[in-house]
């Protein structure tokens, strides 16, 4: 083992220990509970669960709805990614920031807003989509189109326009240019974002329950039901294993598309004015905006209604603990908790993600080394694909002794959130770091720069803006995270989504209004964070 | 100061992704010399360069510099400098900051850095370019900046990876001459890898020819040029044809050389001349700005390349006499 | 730092972004984060008692402060998840409890946690009236703290306007005048939904499936959770609701007062299922004495009288004063449906599967 490999191993050790301790250990701990009945290894119970017809149905619906959700997200997101990254439009930064808002809204709020649109009394009620898979897929796309816009948009932005121009000069129509030049160059980022979106869709929880009614269970909702309601651990373990298998297969399939083969020549890009052939893409973007805006408008207008009249009363009430003092803390304090938690989750996710991205993108010297790196890359995608319930309970049953008794640590919530944000951070940084010509590092090293100095000279200037973008994304994910957060113990310091959930669980017009107002505050905070990130990004380098 | 070669490679091998990219290479470079490692792409010459730079671990053998074994000494502490085909300037730094990069790493004062940077930019003919950004430079300018950056701290050894290949032909010629002068002026010991024999000839004093991971021949450039060890070396050095047996004997005798072995001919080795010993029939005529290029069928020797003055007005089918320029042929032992 | 290794000169954006990065780093270091803000409770572990509960737990600050002052102890409340998640969590950590005392186990989950050996015996005396809610089996380990009833609610205002008489009994709900008028949360994903399923068991015995078939034929809408039903479908909940009959709580009408101070909704007291929430000392607690103090605290008059406004539930102690609106608009049923906890524990899985098959047929 030479020095170089030792150094890399040391770099990788941090992220691997974090993942092992806070993800692999808890998940295996929880799953193994299902395999042991009264201390005896009894895989029979787990196997029996897998053969139930209901499980096959649930799995089929999960994969089907996630696939449909991913396809719709791509259909909506790709034209918008093009419009927002290649065309010179007024306010495109603001639009891009706003399009990320749905991503962090609590699903329960979006669910209610969607149902007010699609429900029996809603303006779109005549479509009869309520409680159908159509509603679920619409909801999934509502949340995830922004992921496509950000990841693919960034790649599109840094694309050299000259090959496309050359093809056009050779007589290719815009569609042919798209198919023969642009698509091959974008494919890896499209596949990459599609796999992330698929994982988000496949593990979506609240939105499936709210929009689908009880007819449509997914693996994720089933695990929740089996664990908390029926306490059927073998069945929950079986489904968790099933979920892992699906995720691993997905990652294996997409891994070969994800690899960035050659160094990308990054060049500053000047957006151009929209031309006539941009009309379909512009139209699609306008539709997406409308689609995203409709539930948000319902939400905002609902938050401004008190007793059938327009009022800011709901917002004024946010500094209180509610009409009947039924909240543990005022909403404003919950917002502060959310922000503080998000700061922690952000530095954790970005710190670990950066280390990992560096390790994964260093030049490999053998096939085995390359496989190891790509395996590492895939491993850190897993937290996206595993049930928050399994992870949440797993943390409780495994981190329970000695110095590792972190079950009641205030850090557990940000750690769980960081794990959810980590794949996004890694997916943001890896393409950028992989795009750096390794000879830049060699040049610096030969001029006398050590490992750190090389990093500062070559990597940091290219990566620091995507890094800020990753910070923004991690921050936003943390602000909106509800699943894992809701399960973990806290000392009288609930986050904003938890408080919103609590408010929506209580009768009374004021509580409902406060929940909507708090959701708007959450949305505005997120949009503000994203807008700051937008302002900082350099078009040729941003990756999200 | 030790005498003898300053850089020594003893039986150096590099294994890369399971294959032996460099196989038992033996090389020496004297202080102040410029050695060109010439070989086709994929022959392992770049891997060799990277091994010397410390970017690639060697699997066998020993690399010593100035008597010191370099094993375990990381790249940034070897005191070498590396210059790439496309410069690899740091895009976010100005020309002056690129050139002064290594100086700042050594914590030189600002005034000293500025002075040295101007001096270097003058050396490479780019005075006044201090505040330009790399993206605004032409390819040739970028290579000059890269060279200045590499020379900034007087590297013990300058490693050049196809330094001129990315440039167009005329620029390549002028920059090659400049490079040679600059290296001589600075007294820099350098090792350059290239696949272009013109580039090697223009810059280097010594040459090592590499095929399939092995150095097959090395020596002063004129010597290697005059006697390539094998046909493949000859063709790589720019010889147009290699003759064997009877045809080789025929041409060697015509050149007044001792017959025996194989004979490599440059394209201009045969020239149409009334006094020529050889005789043949013109099969093909091509005009270039400087001369006519012919293919002549010489009985007993087969089809050979030849040149003629532009005013000769030769046509296909015509019979011509050819003289042989002995300085443009190389004899190889069998 | 005297010497900057890389050039950040020239771009103002670079400076801004660097500043932002610094602010972020600084923020986490300077205590704008949980790392920095973790108050050192480690030092006096003996002086704190940890209450594990669900998300809905809430008590007025002054009531808690008074308790802490009186016993010179800090009450640490760790609340997360719903009742189901809480009982699963307690079951999973039975060997190494995550606190000293737990509150929020209801009668549908009580048996399971008792079987898992989560709770230790206590010696707390129940206040008058609370005895009625105590568990037959396990009363020595769990004390009842509050009660509430899951009842069908109707929008009186809607029925007045339409000139239709509102339903009264469970059987009414399957009748023609109420076709397509009712919405209930799912038994599979919500605790009131589960309670309603148990209601039909208690009311119709083995014939419960027939009742559900009639309900479904009469167009009952099943949605995910209580808030979905109440705020998106109930006419008196959100602005877009279309159904005037909803499954909710007996206390809900107290929160739908109109300008005249009268409730526009009403709970049907013949359709109610009783839910009781229990508390107990955790087996293996670090501080069992203090845990009992917490149990006594939860049964004290201060907490009992705070329950309606803080947690929207009724006190178990008889002598407790309840708010005027509750007295006026949210009377408790006198004879609610009950299913014994051990029956629930045994049958929950089977019933839920049968119900799901029915509801998704």
> What one-character-per-residue DSSP string does B186-217 give?
HT--EEEEES-HHHHHHH-SEEEEEETTEEEE
Q: How many CB pairs under 8 A join A and C?
A: 223
Tens of pLDDT, residues A284-315: 888 888 888 888 888 888 888 877 778 888 88
Tell me if B55 and A454 make a contact (CB, 8 A cut-off).
no
Tell me if C88 and A231 make a contact (CB, 8 A cut-off).
yes
Q: What residue in A sits closest to C91 (Cα-Cα)?
A: A231
Q: Which residues of A312-330 are buried (b: 16+ CB within 10 A; e: fewer)?
A: ebbbebbeebbbbbbbbbb
Q: Which two tokens stand for residue A238?
A: 């079986």
Within 13 Å and on the Cβ side, how many CA atoms surround B320? 28
Within 13 Å and on the Cβ side, how many CA atoms surround C17? 23
- Say if residues A412 and A495 touch (Cβ distance below 8 Å): no
pLDDT of C4 above 60 = no
Task: Write the CA distances from A525 to A101, A105, A288, integer angstroms.
Answer: 9, 11, 22
pLDDT of residue C15: 45
pLDDT of residue A538: 43
List the pLDDT tens digit at each of the 334 positions of chain B. Answer: 446 789 999 999 998 777 888 999 999 999 989 999 999 988 889 889 989 988 888 889 999 999 899 888 888 888 888 888 878 888 888 899 999 888 888 888 899 999 999 999 998 889 999 999 888 888 888 888 998 988 887 888 999 988 888 777 777 888 888 888 888 888 889 999 998 888 888 889 999 999 999 999 999 988 888 888 888 888 888 888 888 888 888 888 888 887 778 889 888 889 998 888 888 999 999 988 888 899 999 988 888 999 998 888 888 888 999 998 888 888 886 5
- In whole angstroms, what is the distance from residue B111 CA to residue B126 CA? 19
Tell me if B88 and A454 make a contact (CB, 8 A cut-off).
no
Interface test with A, best of C86, C103, C240, C260 (most A CBs within 10 A): C240
- Tell me which chain B residues have a C-beta less than 8 angstroms from the C-beta of A3: 72, 74
Give A101 or A417, the one with higher predicted confidence: A417
Q: Same domain, yes or no, for B108 and B211? A: no
pLDDT of C267 above 90 = yes
Q: What is the mean pLDDT of chain C?
A: 83
pLDDT of residue C45: 47
pTM: 0.77
Dihedral sign from CA coordinates of A331, A206, A310, C326: negative
Closest CA to B288 of B261, B268, B274: B268
**3-state SS assignment for residue C7:** coil
pLDDT band of residue A323 (cuts 50, 70, 90) is low
Closest CA to C74 of C101, C47, C92: C47
pLDDT of A367 above 80 = no
- In whole angstroms, what is the distance from residue C90 CA to residue C278 CA? 13
- In whole angstroms, what is the distance from residue C104 CA to residue A345 CA? 30
Q: Which two tokens stand for residue A483?
A: 């699943």
Tell me if B93 and C7 make a contact (CB, 8 A cut-off).
yes
- Say if residues A525 and A131 touch (Cβ distance below 8 Å): no
pLDDT of A224 above 60 = yes
pLDDT of residue C341: 84
What is the number of domains present in chain A? Answer: 1
- Tell me which chain C residues have a C-beta less than 8 angstroms from the C-beta of B92: 6-7
- Tell me which chain C residues have a C-beta less than 8 angstroms from the C-beta of B107: 3
Within 13 Å and on the Cβ side, how many CA atoms surround A68? 13
- In whole angstroms, what is the distance from residue A97 CA to residue B44 CA? 50
Per mean pLDDT, which range of A106-110, C232-236, C249-253, C336-340 is the poorest?
A: A106-110
Task: Write the CA distances from A113 to A142, B144, C282, integer angstroms.
Answer: 12, 63, 41
Ramachandran area for residue C240 (φ above 0: left; ψ -120 to 50: alpha; else beta): alpha
Among B238, B263, B283, give the residue marking a domain's end.
B238
pLDDT of residue A75: 92
Helices (H), C177-323: 191-204, 208-217, 226-227, 288-299, 301-311
Owning domain of residue B19: 1-79+157-238
pLDDT of residue A268: 53
Closest CA to B192 of B212, B201, B126: B201
pLDDT of residue A490: 64
Q: Where are the domains of chain C?
A: 45-147+275-329, 149-273+336-359
Judge if C45-147+275-329 and C149-273+336-359 fold alike in CATH terms: yes
How large is the average pLDDT for residues C289-302? Answer: 93
**Dihedral angle at the C-alpha atoms of A85, A88, A91, A92, nearest 10 degrees?**
-10
- Tell me which chain B residues have a C-beta less than 8 angstroms from the C-beta of A367: 17-18
Q: Which two tokens stand for residue B276?
A: 């020529």
- In whole angstroms, what is the distance from residue A204 CA to residue A220 CA? 7
Q: What residue in B sits closest to A268 (Cα-Cα)?
A: B135
DSSP 8-state code for residue B271: E
**3-state SS assignment for residue A129:** coil
Dihedral sign from CA coordinates of C303, C304, C308, C314: positive
- Say if residues A244 and A219 touch (Cβ distance below 8 Å): no
- In whole angstroms, what is the distance from residue C236 CA to residue C223 CA? 17
Q: Which residues of C199-223 are buried (b: 16+ CB within 10 A; e: fewer)?
A: bbbbbeeeebeebbeebeebebbbb
Tell me if B94 and C5 make a contact (CB, 8 A cut-off).
no
Helices (H), B86-168: 95-99, 101-105, 110-123, 139-151
Give A264 or B142, the one with higher predicted confidence: B142
Task: Write the CA distances from A166 to B16, B61, C134, integer angstroms.
Answer: 37, 49, 82
pLDDT of residue A267: 53
Tens of pLDDT, residues C47-61: 889 999 887 788 888
How large is the average pLDDT for residues A504-529? Answer: 83
Q: Which two tokens stand for residue B208?
A: 């090592």
- Say if residues A66 and A58 touch (Cβ distance below 8 Å): no
The answer as to whether A368 is a domain residue is yes
- Tell me which chain C residues have a C-beta less than 8 angstroms from the C-beta of B105: 5
The answer as to whether A353 is a domain residue is yes
Q: Which residues of A344-374 are buried (b: 16+ CB within 10 A; e: fewer)?
A: bbbbbbbebbbbbbbbbbbebbeeeeeebbb
H-helix or E-strand containing A486? helix A483-487
Tell me if B107 and C3 make a contact (CB, 8 A cut-off).
yes
pLDDT of A168 above 80 = no
Give A196 or A214, the one with higher predicted confidence: A196
How large is the average pLDDT for residues C229-243? Answer: 83
The answer as to whether A523 is a domain residue is yes
pLDDT of residue C118: 92
- Say if residues C223 and C285 touch (Cβ distance below 8 Å): no
pLDDT of A393 above 80 = yes
C7 CA to chain B: closest CA distance, Å?
6
What is the number of domains present in chain B? Answer: 3
Interface test with B, best of C7, C9, C11, C14 (most B CBs within 10 A): C7
Q: Same domain, yes or no, for B304 and B244? A: yes
Spatial strand order of the sheet with B60-65 comes to B19-29, B7-16, B60-65, B68-69
- In whole angstroms, what is the distance from residue B101 CA to residue C17 CA? 24
**3-state SS assignment for residue C116:** coil
Tens of pLDDT, residues C326-360: 888 888 888 899 888 888 888 888 898 888 888 87
The answer as to whether A279 is a domain residue is no
pLDDT of residue C12: 39
- In whole angstroms, what is the distance from residue C334 CA to residue A92 CA? 62
Interface test with B, best of A364, A444, A445, A446 (most B CBs within 10 A): A446
Q: Which residues of A418-444 are buried (b: 16+ CB within 10 A; e: fewer)?
A: bbbbbbbbbbbbbbbbbbbbebbbbbb
Q: Same domain, yes or no, for B74 and B168? A: yes
Work out the burial of residue A235: count CB atoms within 10 Å of its CB; fewer than 13 is exposed, 13-18 middle, 19 or more buried: buried
Q: Estimate the share of chain A in helix, then strand, then coil, as percent rounded to the nearest 5.
A: 75, 0, 20
Dihedral sign from CA coordinates of A227, A233, A235, A237: positive
Tell me if B153 and A454 make a contact (CB, 8 A cut-off).
no
Candidate from B97, B105, B107 with C-beta closest to C7: B97
Q: What percent of chain C has pLDDT over 90?
A: 37
Q: What residue in B sits closest to C3 (Cα-Cα)?
A: B107
DSSP 8-state code for residue A456: I
Candidate from A210, A347, A488 with C-beta closest to C28: A347
Ramachandran area for residue B150 (φ above 0: left; ψ -120 to 50: alpha; else beta): alpha
pLDDT of residue C181: 94
- Tell me which chain A residues have a C-beta less than 8 angstroms from the C-beta of C224: 111, 209-210, 212-214
How large is the average pLDDT for residues C77-88? Answer: 82
ipTM: 0.76
Q: Which residue has the tokens 């105590």?
A: C134
Closest CA to B145 of B83, B231, B237: B83
Q: What residue in A sits closest to B99 (Cα-Cα)?
A: A447
pLDDT band of residue C81 (cuts 50, 70, 90) is confident
Tens of pLDDT, residues A87-117: 888 888 788 777 777 876 767 677 777 877 7
pLDDT of C23 above 60 = no
pLDDT of C313 above 80 = yes
How large is the average pLDDT for residues A364-380? Answer: 78
The answer as to whether A470 is a domain residue is yes
- Say if residues B156 and B66 touch (Cβ distance below 8 Å): yes
Q: Same domain, yes or no, for B188 and B287? A: no
Work out the burial of residue A80: count CB atoms within 10 Å of its CB; fewer than 13 is exposed, 13-18 middle, 19 or more buried: buried
Torsions phi, psi for C154 (to 5 deg): -125, 150
Instruction: Tell me which CATH homologous superfamily contains domain C45-147+275-329.
Output: Periplasmic binding protein-like II (3.40.190.10)
Fold of C149-273+336-359: D-Maltodextrin-Binding Protein; domain 2 (3.40.190)
Candidate from A305, A343, A489 with C-beta closest to C98: A489
Interface test with A, best of B74, B79, B88, B142 (most A CBs within 10 A): B88
pLDDT of residue B37: 94
The answer as to whether A290 is a domain residue is no
Angle at which helix A331-361 crosses helix A3-19, to 10 degrees, equals 150
Q: Same domain, yes or no, for B181 and B57? A: yes
Ramachandran area for residue B19 (φ above 0: left; ψ -120 to 50: alpha; else beta): beta
Q: DSSP per residue over A215-256, as a string?
A: G---HHHHHHIIIIIS--HHHHHHHHHHHHHHHHHHHHHHHH
pLDDT band of residue A488 (cuts 50, 70, 90) is confident
Q: Same domain, yes or no, for B71 and B106? A: no
pLDDT of residue A72: 94
pLDDT of C298 above 50 = yes
pLDDT of residue C210: 94
Residue B198: how many other CB atoms lie within 10 Å: 14
A366 CA to chain B: closest CA distance, Å?
4
Ramachandran area for residue B270 (φ above 0: left; ψ -120 to 50: alpha; else beta): beta
Q: What residue in A sits closest to B89 (Cα-Cα)?
A: A440
Pairing between β-strand B278-287 and β-strand B319-324 as defined by DSSP bridges: antiparallel
Owning domain of residue A97: 3-268+313-536
How large is the average pLDDT for residues C75-79? Answer: 85
Tens of pLDDT, residues A26-81: 899 888 888 887 778 878 878 888 888 888 888 898 899 999 999 999 999 999 98
**Dihedral angle at the C-alpha atoms of B172, B177, B181, B183, nearest 10 degrees?**
40
- In whole angstroms, what is the distance from residue A351 CA to residue C280 CA? 42
């Amino acid at each position: 083992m030479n020095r170089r490999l030792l150094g890399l191993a040391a770099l990788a050790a941090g992220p691997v220990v974090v993942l092992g301790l806070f993800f692999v250990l808890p998940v295996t701990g929880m799953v193994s509970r299902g395999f042991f009945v009264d201390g005896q290894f009894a895989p029979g119970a787990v196997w029996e669960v897998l053969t139930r017809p209901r499980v096959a149905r649930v799995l089929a619906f999960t994969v089907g709805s996630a696939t449909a959700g991913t396809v719709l997200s791509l259909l909506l997101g790709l034209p918008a990614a093009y419009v927002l990254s290649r065309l010179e439009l007024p306010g495109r930064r603001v639009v891009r920031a706003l399009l990320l808002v749905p991503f962090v809204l609590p699903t329960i709020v979006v669910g209610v807003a969607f149902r007010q649109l699609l429900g029996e009394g809603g303006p779109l009620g005549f479509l009869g989509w309520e409680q159908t898979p159509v509603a679920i897929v619409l909801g999934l796309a509502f949340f995830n189109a922004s992921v496509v816009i950000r990841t693919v948009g960034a790649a599109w932005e840094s694309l050299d326009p000259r090959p496309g121009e050359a093809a056009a000069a050779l007589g290719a129509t815009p569609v042919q240019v798209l198919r023969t030049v642009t698509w091959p160059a974008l494919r890896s980022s499209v596949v990459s974002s599609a796999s992330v979106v698929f994982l988000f869709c496949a593990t979506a929880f609240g939105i499936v329950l709210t929009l689908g009614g009880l007819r449509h269970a997914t693996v994720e909702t089933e695990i929740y039901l089996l664990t908390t309601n029926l306490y059927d651990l073998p069945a929950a373990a079986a489904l968790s294993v099933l979920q892992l298998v699906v995720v691993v297969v997905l990652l294996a399939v997409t891994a070969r598309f994800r690899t960035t083969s050659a160094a990308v020549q990054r060049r500053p890009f000047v957006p151009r004015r929209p031309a006539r052939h941009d009309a379909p893409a512009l139209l699609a973007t306008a539709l997406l905006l409308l689609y995203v805006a409709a539930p948000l408008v319902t939400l905002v207008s609902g938050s401004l209604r008190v007793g059938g009249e327009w009022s800011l009363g709901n917002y004024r009430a946010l500094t209180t603990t509610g009409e009947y003092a039924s909240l543990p803390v005022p909403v404003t304090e919950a917002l502060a908790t959310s922000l503080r938690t998000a700061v922690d989750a952000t530095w954790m996710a970005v710190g670990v993600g950066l280390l990992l991205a560096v390790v994964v993108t260093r030049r490999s010297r053998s096939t085995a080394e390359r496989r190891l790196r790509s395996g590492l890359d895939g491993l850190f995608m897993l937290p996206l694909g595993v049930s928050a319930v399994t992870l949440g309970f797993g943390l409780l049953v495994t981190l329970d002794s000695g110095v590792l008794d972190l079950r009641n640590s205030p850090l557990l919530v940000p750690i769980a959130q960081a794990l959810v944000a980590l794949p996004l951070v890694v997916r943001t940084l890896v393409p950028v770091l992989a795009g750096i010509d390794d000879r830049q590092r060699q040049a610096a090293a030969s001029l006398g720069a050590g490992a750190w100095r090389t990093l500062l000279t070559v990597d940091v200037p290219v990566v620091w803006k995507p890094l800020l973008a990753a910070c923004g994304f991690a921050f936003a994910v943390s602000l909106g995270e509800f699943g894992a957060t809701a399960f973990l113990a806290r000392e009288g310091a609930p986050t904003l989504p938890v408080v919103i959930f609590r408010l929506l669980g209580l009768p009374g017009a004021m509580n409902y209004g406060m929940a909507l107002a708090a959701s708007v505050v959450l949305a505005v905070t997120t949009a503000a964070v994203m807008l700051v990130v937008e302002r900082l990004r350099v078009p040729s380098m941003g990756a999200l | 100061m030790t005498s003898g070669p300053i850089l020594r490679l003893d039986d150096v091998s590099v294994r890369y992704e399971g294959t032996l990219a460099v196989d038992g290479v033996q090389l020496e470079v004297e202080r102040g010399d410029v050695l060109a490692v010439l070989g086709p792409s994929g022959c392992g010459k770049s891997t060799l360069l990277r091994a010397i730079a410390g970017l690639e671990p060697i699997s066998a053998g020993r690399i010593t510099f100035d008597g010191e074994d370099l094993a375990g000494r990381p790249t940034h502490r070897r005191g070498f400098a590396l210059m790439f085909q496309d410069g690899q300037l740091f895009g976010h730094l100005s020309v002056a900051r690129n050139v002064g990069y290594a100086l700042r790493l050594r914590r030189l004062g600002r005034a000293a850095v500025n002075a040295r940077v101007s001096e270097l930019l003058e050396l490479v003919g780019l005075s006044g370019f201090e505040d330009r950004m790399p993206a605004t430079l032409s390819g040739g300018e970028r290579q000059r900046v890269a060279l200045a950056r590499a020379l900034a701290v007087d590297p013990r050894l300058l490693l050049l990876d196809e330094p001129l290949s990315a440039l167009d032909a005329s620029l390549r010629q002028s920059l090659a001459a400049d490079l040679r002068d600059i290296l001589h002026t600075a007294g820099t010991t350098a090792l350059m890898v290239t696949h272009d024999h013109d580039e090697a000839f223009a810059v280097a004093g010594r040459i090592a020819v590499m095929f399939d991971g092995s150095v097959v021949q090395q020596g002063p450039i004129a010597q290697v040029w005059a006697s390539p060890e094998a046909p493949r070396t000859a063709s790589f050095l720019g010889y147009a044809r290699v003759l064997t047996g009877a045809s080789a004997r025929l041409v060697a005798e015509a050149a007044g050389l001792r017959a025996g072995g194989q004979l490599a001919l440059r394209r201009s080795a045969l020239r149409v001349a009334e006094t020529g010993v050889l005789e043949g029939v013109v099969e093909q005529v091509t005009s270039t700005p400087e001369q006519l290029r012919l293919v002549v069928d010489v009985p007993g020797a087969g089809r050979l390349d030849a040149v003629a003055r532009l005013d000769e007005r030769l046509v296909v089918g015509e019979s011509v006499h050819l003289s042989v320029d002995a300085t443009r042929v190389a004899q190889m032992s069998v | 730092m005297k010497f900057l290794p890389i050039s950040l000169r020239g771009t103002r954006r670079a400076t801004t972004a660097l500043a932002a990065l610094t602010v972020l780093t600084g923020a986490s270091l300077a205590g704008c984060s949980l790392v920095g803000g973790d108050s050192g409770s480690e030092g006096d572990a003996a002086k704190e008692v940890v209450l594990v509960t669900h998300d809905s737990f809430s008590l007025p600050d002054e009531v808690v402060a008074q308790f802490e002052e009186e016993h010179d102890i800090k009450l640490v409340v760790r609340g997360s998840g719903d009742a189901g998640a809480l009982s699963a969590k307690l079951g999973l950590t039975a060997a190494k409890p995550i606190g000293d005392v737990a509150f929020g186990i209801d009668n549908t989950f009580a048996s399971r946690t008792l079987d898992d050996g989560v709770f230790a015996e206590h010696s707390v005396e129940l206040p008058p009236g609370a005895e009625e809610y105590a568990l037959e089996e396990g009363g020595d380990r769990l004390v009842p703290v509050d009660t509430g009833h899951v009842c069908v609610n109707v929008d009186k205002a809607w029925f007045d306007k339409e000139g239709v008489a509102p339903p009264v009994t469970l059987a009414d709900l399957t009748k023609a005048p109420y076709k397509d008028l009712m919405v209930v949360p799912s038994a599979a994903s919500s605790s009131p939904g589960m309670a309603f399923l148990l209601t039909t068991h208690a009311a119709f015995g083995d014939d419960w499936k027939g009742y559900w078939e009639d309900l479904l034929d009469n167009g009952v809408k099943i949605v995910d959770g209580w808030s979905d039903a109440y705020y998106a479908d109930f006419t008196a909940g959100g602005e877009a609701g279309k159904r005037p009959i909803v499954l909710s709580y007996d206390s809900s009408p107290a929160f739908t007062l109109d300008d005249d101070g009268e409730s526009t909704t009403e709970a049907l007291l013949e359709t109610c299922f009783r839910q009781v929430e229990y508390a107990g000392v955790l087996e293996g607690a670090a501080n069992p004495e203090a845990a009992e103090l917490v149990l006594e605290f939860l049964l004290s008059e201060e907490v009992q009288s705070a329950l309606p406004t803080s947690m929207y539930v009724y006190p178990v102690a008889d002598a407790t004063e309840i708010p005027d609106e509750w007295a006026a608009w949210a009377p408790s049923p006198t004879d609610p449906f009950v299913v014994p906890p051990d029956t629930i524990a045994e049958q929950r899985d089977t019933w839920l599967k049968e119900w799901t098959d029915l509801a998704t047929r």
